[in-house]
Structure 1
């Protein structure tokens, strides 16, 4: 393996020497420059694997150099050295295309982390690495092509990215793709839905707690920030954070450290923040329900995920992928969409986007008797016919259905209650037909495929 190379640009000899010694001890071959003119000459002659530049130089500033590097040698990651507390300058450099930034006085552990992350960008290409569900980024429409290109480009940066888009459009998958294609790909990817955490537990969930710090804290807890150390923290539905938590989140992001509940010391964390919401965050800032300083900190770069209705030509490819996955999951032959079914899907508005398409196809897949899904099987704009219900409780003979006793205190767990009805009905039908699944499906008034689906979902295989 060849020796990695770096270029350090700073007009202060002491800083240049400190950085050169630090990088040399990491096994990196270092060149130095005292101004932008010299730096450009060295970059054009032999682009290094990392460029580290001061912001204020005798013949220009670091932002100008970042722009120049983006045009002339875009494969070279460049990090800028900013004055202490100059967060606006740091954000400006990230928007210009800088890989990352480090503040003066330079903390050597932080510098080493930055350098190691930058050098990973020159390792073998991982752009084709599959995500958890690559189908959500499938498509040949202009919007999806642009989205894939943007994720590849943003993966090379450490800038916070705000992913906007409607519910069900695949924002978490985009975040995963940014993580998997970047230098943090070997670290953890931690996704959290900010709207799903009770406000009283939010600080403990994010920052962790010490044993005994409050009632119920029976053990030490790391928290989401420390769980994501060395990787990426994805804050989904970030607009749902209460104001008091927004203040604490902003401090943790700026200081790159967290203070667990009940602890007097801050713990440093090395994470990249990606965030998303389906809500209009700038409007919430205007209303005063979302802090403007936090908005500017997480929204350094915005990435828009197009809704499904804007890319109808991708529906066929997405549908085929979803149906093939369903067939693998339920060990059935894949179903095919008829031309009429495909046209009906293309005409649908999809307010729920890709997630809605998945739900529609899963329902149709389980209900169709043959290996073809026709327009009627999609049940778009109409309720499913009684004989083809995916809810077995609707197919039970009325006098066999158990009575529903609502609890006096507390709430009824309706989903589990319905599943228990389905489980009992399936068991009864299988016993009556001596475990002949085809006959049992007929007795239940559902398709064989729907029975297979239910058996797998309820863990009855």
Structure 2
């Protein structure tokens, strides 16, 4: 199969020359003159490599590089420039570029750089390993890399920081680390740092002591103590206030905590796994996240790939979630035909595995007969059309917001407007769902009436 190379350069002759060279080397080539057209193409297909000019007209190539990496974190990108500097090359490398070429381009250097860059990102051959508990579905290189990282992390007591978009499986990965660790028979406690008002978070996390008429105070054990000798998973860690971040850091460093209203320090032996879908570097730069807490948590960083980076796993995931939905909803047996699987595999999946799960459940319930076809898949995905259009324009932030809005609406409809059932189906606290409904301007009453 031919390797596909994307070229972005505002100089027509450069694009033409590179195309001729690469096609002679039996590469398939697409070239673009604007960042917008490149990003639009990336939402439809992942190339083997991108050659990206540092300046494309008035567009900053480093900004375009950022957008490419948001779509495909492991995509190899080689920067090219007619006025390269060491500082520029360093900045490009920090942002994820695998190499840097200067104009005028040497044919031999271009071919050599492309070959070596693609080779670097080929499937990694991991040593033999086996997880005792393996609920992470997939066989793609990127998910195998995650499983191996879980295996390595589970062998230690080191703190883990999990990164990934919404719906990529951060909770599942954190649980897998615990289930395969030496602490597997001890408590595993999950705590969503965005699930409660700030005044309640400290009590929920660290516990509470209330004075009583007797000599003994009334004690409420917090999540941290509940996880004693086990694992505490702090999801959406970047949503904590700076004051609470400071207290979390102190407990991590001192290995002891003080309950709210308490007068004594309680020793704690708890492994911490944190997760976020935020850009931590931006949060630190904006003063929203403590840099010292980041370093304390980021002993083992683990980045989860978006579903679009492992679409070869989609048939396996679709089959699993179809069987699960049929069983849970007491439905008749159904299968997805080849064209239906192709339609699923070609979707961009801004909501990742969570969106796929929702779509499969909808198909299992709404499709009559025993076969789910391509037209059924496309109709089910229609509700996410606006999000996909935004992604095609490179507006990833608003695309995610639109997907989240559509996802919550569809889940509310399936749950007949019942907020409690919806919060359970979404895997979030009811108070957190109410905040989402307000921020996304979703009216439950109007949905029910509609």
Note whether the superposition's TM-score is higher than 0.5.
yes
| Matching residue of 1:382 | 382
The answer to whether the Cα contact below 8 Å between 1:168 and 1:353 also exists between their aligned partners in 2 is yes
The answer to whether the Cα contact below 8 Å between 1:169 and 1:305 also exists between their aligned partners in 2 is yes
Residue 266 (structure 1) aligned with residue 265 (structure 2): yes
Moved more, 308-317 or 196-205: 196-205
SS in 2 for 1:210: strand
| Matching residue of 2:158 | 159
Shift of 1:391: 5.8
Query: Cα deviation per residue 1:171-190 (whole Å; 9 max; x = unaligned)?
Result: 11010000000000001111
Structure 1 residues 66-215: aligned runs within 5 Å: 127-130=131-134, 134=135, 137-212=136-211
Shift of 1:220: 2.0
| Matching residue of 1:367 | 366
The answer to whether the Cα contact below 8 Å between 2:333 and 2:370 also exists between their aligned partners in 1 is yes
Q: For residues 199 and 156 of structure 1, what CA distance do their matches in structure 2 show?
A: 34
* Alpha-carbon distance change, 288 to 374 in structure 1, aligned in 2, over 3 angstroms: same
TM-score by length of 1: 0.54
Q: For residues 443 and 139 of structure 2, what CA distance do their matches in structure 1 show?
A: 41
| Matching residue of 2:286 | 287
Shift of 1:418: 6.6
Shift of 1:141: 0.5
Deviation beyond 3 Å, 4+ runs, structure 1: 389-394, 411-419
Q: For residues 416 and 246 of structure 2, what CA distance do their matches in structure 1 show?
A: 49
* Alpha-carbon distance change, 219 to 375 in structure 1, aligned in 2, over 3 angstroms: farther
TM-score by length of 2: 0.56
| Matching residue of 1:315 | 314
Query: Cα deviation per residue 1:71-116 (whole Å; 9 max; x = unaligned)?
Result: xxxxxxxxxxxxxxxxxxxxxxxxxxxxxxxxxxxxxxxxxxxxxx
| Matching residue of 1:440 | none
| Matching residue of 1:237 | 236
Q: For residues 189 and 393 of structure 1, what CA distance do their matches in structure 2 show?
A: 32
* Alpha-carbon distance change, 197 to 392 in structure 1, aligned in 2, over 3 angstroms: closer
The answer to whether the Cα contact below 8 Å between 1:326 and 1:334 also exists between their aligned partners in 2 is no
Shift of 1:333: 3.1
- Point out which structure has higher relative CO (alpha carbons under 8 A, 6+ apart): 2
SS in 1 for 2:382: coil
* Alpha-carbon distance change, 232 to 383 in structure 1, aligned in 2, over 3 angstroms: closer
The answer to whether the Cα contact below 8 Å between 1:315 and 1:345 also exists between their aligned partners in 2 is yes
* Alpha-carbon distance change, 356 to 413 in structure 1, aligned in 2, over 3 angstroms: closer
SS in 1 for 2:232: strand
Residue 255 (structure 1) aligned with residue 254 (structure 2): yes
Q: For residues 186 and 416 of structure 2, what CA distance do their matches in structure 1 show?
A: 45
SS in 2 for 1:341: helix
Structure 1 residues 356-435: aligned runs within 5 Å: 356-378=355-377, 379-383=379-383, 415=444
User: Considering only CA atoms, is the larger Rg found in Structure 1 or Structure 2?
Assistant: 1
* Alpha-carbon distance change, 310 to 250 in structure 1, aligned in 2, over 3 angstroms: same
Q: For residues 313 and 336 of structure 2, what CA distance do their matches in structure 1 show?
A: 14
Q: For residues 270 and 196 of structure 1, what CA distance do their matches in structure 2 show?
A: 24
SS in 2 for 1:187: coil
Q: For residues 282 and 305 of structure 1, what CA distance do their matches in structure 2 show?
A: 17
The answer to whether the Cα contact below 8 Å between 2:191 and 2:235 also exists between their aligned partners in 1 is yes
Which ranges of structure 2 fall in alignment gaps of 5 or more residues? Answer: 1-128, 385-411, 418-437
Q: For residues 413 and 205 of structure 2, what CA distance do their matches in structure 1 show?
A: 39
Shift of 1:283: 1.8
SS in 1 for 2:301: strand
SS in 1 for 2:234: strand
Q: For residues 381 and 321 of structure 1, what CA distance do their matches in structure 2 show?
A: 19
